[in-house]
Amino acid sequence: MTDDILIVGSGGHARSVSDIILQEKLFAIAGCIDNLYEKCTNIKFMEDISIIGNDGMLSGFYKRGLKNVFIAIGENKLRTKLYNIVSEIGFTIVNIISNTSSVSQRAHIGNGVCIMRGAVVNINTVIGNNCIINTNCSLDHDCYVGNNCHIAPGVTMSGGVHIGDGVQLGTGTSVIDGVKIGENSFIGAGSVIINDIPSGVMAYGVPARIIRTI
């Protein structure tokens, strides 16, 4: 076990990340940061992990010597906001990569990335900063995932897929090879993407169709 770490967030994704950290002895968890501070004392179902402060207290924890942090929040916009805050403070934003995942040595991973249990990241795939590659995802060769994305459980991406910044791919989505999805788009669960999707839209279905702008 290495240095202490702060976990930002205390919801379901924070529980999943914390479980990997503890089971695989990646860090010692100093506690969680959440605006529920003073209303809740612990992460739900994990009474051994305390909520020790709120977002406004991050700078104070850094000054007291806690340098490592992970943003464990599923929602892209809030996760991005908090990532920027801790970056400006000076925290080291670590990666949490489960030892049950399979990540090519020739993949390129940014920082603040979580690669959950059972995920596969193949050769020459690029993952930007502050991304979630969730449980049992499969990212094949030569894919690109921009910053601040959430690739939900069970997503399958064939080779050469390009995902812009801030995209969320819903659970069980399949994306055929070479498809491009524009930044800040949201793809509903179970969709099949066979054509490019522009930026800033919601799409879902088999095959996926654009429903509205967001």
pLDDT band at 39 (very low <50, low <70, confident <90, very high): confident
Please compute the mean of the pLDDT values over residues 6-12 and round it to a whole number: 95
Q: What percent of the chain has pLDDT over 70?
A: 99
Domains, the chain, ranges and CATH?
A: 4-94 (3.40.50.20), 97-206 (2.160.10.10)
Distance of CA 53 to the CA centre of its chain: 22
* Three-state DSSP string of 121-164: ECCCCEECCCCEECCCCEECCCCEECCCCEECCCCEECCCCEEC
pLDDT of residue 94: 98
Q: What is the pLDDT of residue 42?
A: 77
* DSSP letter assigned to residue 101: S
Q: pLDDT, tens digit, for every residue of 115-140?
A: 999 999 999 999 999 999 999 999 99
Catalytic hit among 13, 141, 150, 162:
162
pLDDT classification of 1: cutoffs 50, 70, 90? very low
162 is catalytic: yes
Query: What six digits make up the tokens of 20?
Result: 């990997």
pLDDT in tens, 95-104: 999 999 999 9
Mean residue pLDDT across the chain: 95
For the entire predicted model, the pTM comes to 0.94
Say what the pLDDT of residue 108 is.
98
C-alpha distances in angstroms, 140 versus 50, 135, 181? 38, 15, 16
